[in-house]
Amino acid sequence: MKSSFEAARQYFEEAASVIGLSESLRDLLVTPEREIKVQVPIKRDNGQIATFIGYRMQHNSARGPMKGGLRYHHEVNADEVLTLASLMTWKTAVVDIPYGGAKGGISVNTKELSIDELERLTRRFVDEIHDLFGPDKDIPAPDMGTNAQTMAWIMNQYEKFHGFAPACVTGKPVELYGAEGREEATGRGVGILTLAFLRKFGRSIENATIAIQGFGNVGSFTAAYLHQAGARVIAISDVSGGIVNRNGIDVPAALEFAAANKSLTGFPGGEPISNEALLMLDTDVLIPAALGNVLTEQNADSVRAKFIVEAANGPTTPEADAIFRKKEIPVLPDILANAGGVTVSYFEWVQNQQYFRWDLSRVREELEKYMTRAFHRVWTISTDKKVSLRTGAYILAIGRVSRATELGGI
Ligand code: NAD
């Protein structure tokens, strides 16, 4: 199986070839502008010193300040962060928000740290890199292992050096310059585009069957949106396993159960199913919304879904992608499908810059506009050039970034 770094590079090269991008521009666009790796030492609660490694990879700023999440996870490494940073460059370009791409992370098992230790870790990381990010340079956001509280610490620490600057980070608590609708944004965007996707094939959402892997932030809001739109959500899962019910899962009850029990284990509204079997279900739409690399050459042949919507980042390996093309299963790619989160992050930054707060209905309306506009552009490119939606999305993104690079010069 290819690494996520190789997979992203392959998708880039395919699209670059279709548009005849020069070797020199290809070189420039795959080379990150800056790679930051710093030591992040903290004093543990027991008085001992612990040393961590923090990364911020700034991939490309041709279209604006760089944007991307900050991940706290024990498997964080330079290659992975760099790959995710490049995906952010393409994602922000696909939805046409005025940003480039970056990503950061600290290699740490958050379960082993107390809340005070996590706060010290975050503040120390900001001490190390505060000159290298900020509202007009690079704007971090939550990702795996970080949340609105982490963003509040980042803002507070950054402001000790630079003064009032809420736009230095997004995904903040709503009480502290955060945006209404940020929490639901990625799942809502996935839901909006699932409807648009089905409509293109003459399919209505009414009673369309949906299987969703992952019931965290993205999976749960996706399920809620599609359920409300009239779809039949027949399977959901989390790390502990899944639930299937061909008559339709009572999604509001599942949301309540998961909130109360922190897990779907024991949810009474269906039969148990494994995460692997969920991917093979006979369903109209399959939505991986948990981990990367779950659809591979080992299982792609057994997938029976009619459509795939990539809510997770990188759920499909290039080998599986090729199998889906052969089987004519249309795939809505991650850099388009899950761009709702970064789009509402952009709205948060805009509100912070203007000292003006939007209400939830405005956020939702603008989100729908940005997502559907991007979807129709990608659709047109893929139809005109007879390529997959993934290649279409990369063509749109690479075209925009390379044009900005040529116009601005070096
Ligand atoms: P989350 O941590 O809130 O939820 C992850 C879900 O996946 C949980 O239900 C968890 O139990 C489940 N899970 C974990 N390991 C699993 C396994 N081995 N098998 C099956 N399920 C498993 O994370 P999230 O924010 O919902 O992110 C999910 C995916 O979406 C990730 O790939 C992330 O990179 C991507 N994404 C998230 C956002 C966002 O705004 N949150 C934006 C873009 C992309």
CATH for 245: 3.40.50.720
Paired tokens of 16: 């670059």
Q: Is 237 in the pocket of ligand 1 (CB under 6 A)?
A: yes
pTM: 0.96
Planar angle of CA 68, 192, 254, nearest 5 degrees: 90
* Cα–Cα distances in angstroms (integers) from residue 152 to residues 52, 140, 181, 198, in the given order: 21, 11, 17, 39
> Ligand 1, atom 36: nearest CA belongs to which residue?
312
Distance of CA 353 from the midpoint of ligand 1 (Å) = 30
Domain limits for position 303: 185-337
Position 243 scores a pLDDT of: 97
User: Does 215 map to a domain?
Assistant: yes
| Torsion angle in degrees (nearest 10) through CA of 18, 22, 23, 25 | -110
User: Does 262 map to a domain?
Assistant: yes
Give the span between the Cα atoms of 218 and 233, in whole angstroms: 15
CATH no. for residue 89?
3.40.50.10860
Query: Which residue, 303, 337, 371, sits at the end of a domain?
Result: 337
Q: Is 215 in the pocket of ligand 1 (CB under 6 A)?
A: yes
| Torsion angle in degrees (nearest 10) through CA of 166, 171, 172, 178 | 80
The verdict on 236 and 124 lying in the same domain is no
Candidates 106, 104, 108; CA nearest to 88 is 104
Position 7 scores a pLDDT of: 85
Give the span between the Cα atoms of 361 and 358, in whole angstroms: 8
Q: Which of 238, 334, 336 to mutate to test the pocket of ligand 1 (most atoms within 8 A of CB)?
A: 238
Planar angle of CA 335, 338, 339, nearest 5 degrees: 70
The verdict on 106 and 211 lying in the same domain is no
Query: Which segments in the chain show pLDDT lower than 70?
Result: 1-2
User: Does 409 map to a domain?
Assistant: no
User: Does 9 map to a domain?
Assistant: no
Distance of CA 190 from the midpoint of ligand 1 (Å) = 13
Distance of CA 26 from the midpoint of ligand 1 (Å) = 31
Neighbours of 201 (CB within 10 A): 10
Judge whether 105 and 38 are in contact, CB under 8 Å: no
Q: For residue range 85-136, what is the model confidence (pLDDT) as tens digits?
A: 999 999 999 999 999 999 999 999 999 999 999 999 999 999 999 999 999 9
Paired tokens of 119: 């706060």
The verdict on 330 and 191 lying in the same domain is yes
The verdict on 292 and 270 lying in the same domain is yes
Positions annotated as catalytic residues are: 103
Position 1 scores a pLDDT of: 65
The verdict on 320 and 217 lying in the same domain is yes
Q: Is 216 in the pocket of ligand 1 (CB under 6 A)?
A: yes
Neighbours of 366 (CB within 10 A): 17
The verdict on 50 and 73 lying in the same domain is yes
User: Does 13 map to a domain?
Assistant: no
Phi/psi of residue 58, each to 5°?
-105, 105
Q: For residue range 40-86, what is the model confidence (pLDDT) as tens digits?
A: 999 999 999 999 999 999 999 999 999 999 999 998 999 999 999 99
The verdict on 113 and 193 lying in the same domain is no
Domain count, the chain: 2
Q: Is 241 in the pocket of ligand 1 (CB under 6 A)?
A: no
Q: Is 214 in the pocket of ligand 1 (CB under 6 A)?
A: yes
Tell whether the torsion through CA atoms of 64, 142, 34 and 15 is positive or negative: negative
